[in-house]
Chains A and B, each alone.
Chain A
Amino acid sequence: DVRMTQSPSYLSAAVGDRVTITCRASQSISAYLSWYQQTPGKAPKLLIYAASSLQSGVPSRFSGSGSETDFTLTISNLQPEDFATYYCQQSYRIPYTFGQGTKLEIK
């Protein structure tokens, strides 16, 4: 199985800050990497697909980059509604696997 490792697991930031979350795959997954945002009690929401493509309706302060094994999600100018948990997921090979999540908290 492709193991996905996210870092950090917890992140504390203030409104207006810029933050970066990283995701590393245990083997090359090309650009088959998505990022999801989840708030408590809700389903995950797609933010980024194909490593760097912004899902329709998602604010442009979210951006993704990377390929092969190393990927990043960057959130610029943090807004109150951005404080949530973020997951990466690879869809290169079944079983599809998720990172363990990064909880973004308000400082």
Chain B
Amino acid sequence: QVQLVQSGAEVKKPGSSVKVSCMTSGGTFTSYAFHWVRQAPGQGLEWVGGIIPIIRTTHYAQRFEGRITINADESTGTVYMELRSLISEDTAVFFCARERQRRDLVGGSFFDFWGQGTLLTVSS
């Protein structure tokens, strides 16, 4: 049974950093890409960035470039997202999600399993 379990809620001050973890189980870690998706209070879903652990390749949304790092620990099957220089507008729930790719199907790239979400509150 596939599970993505995220670390707990965080309260941070403006200008500080946060590191959120996403521990995966029940699948072959290196067979997938993993992504982070943000949801500000009362708002929609926003892709933040992703990583392909097997080739250690990352992609980030332009608005976070320079203050975000996503990495992965294959030994524990855990994905991390670090966000620096926090501002109050970063207050949101962050979800990790697993991307499955089905090579036999046109358009077969989708987020099939999600973590439970981690609430980040940035406040002075």
Contact = CB atoms under 8 A, between A and B. Distances in A.
Contacts of A100: 44
Contacts of B61: 95
Interface residues of B, number: 26
Interface residues of A, number: 29
B11 interface: no
A91 B45 contact: no
Central interface residue in A29, A53, A55, by most chain B CB within 10 Å: A53
A26 to B, nearest CB: 15
A43 B45 contact: no
B110 A34 contact: yes
Interface string B100-112: 0010011111111
Contact of B99 (A44, A50, A51, A91): A91
A98 B62 CA distance: 15
30 contacts: A29-B107, A30-B107, A31-B106, A32-B107, A36-B45, A36-B111, A43-B114, A43-B117, A44-B45, A44-B95, A44-B97, A44-B111, A46-B111, A46-B112, A49-B107, A50-B102, A50-B106, A50-B107, A53-B105, A55-B112, A87-B45, A89-B45, A95-B59, A95-B62, A96-B35, A98-B37, A98-B45, A98-B46, A98-B47, A101-B45
Interface of A: 29-34, 36, 38, 43-46, 49-51, 53, 55, 87, 89, 91-92, 94-101
Interface of B: 35, 37, 44-47, 50, 59, 61-62, 95, 97, 99, 102, 105-112, 114-117
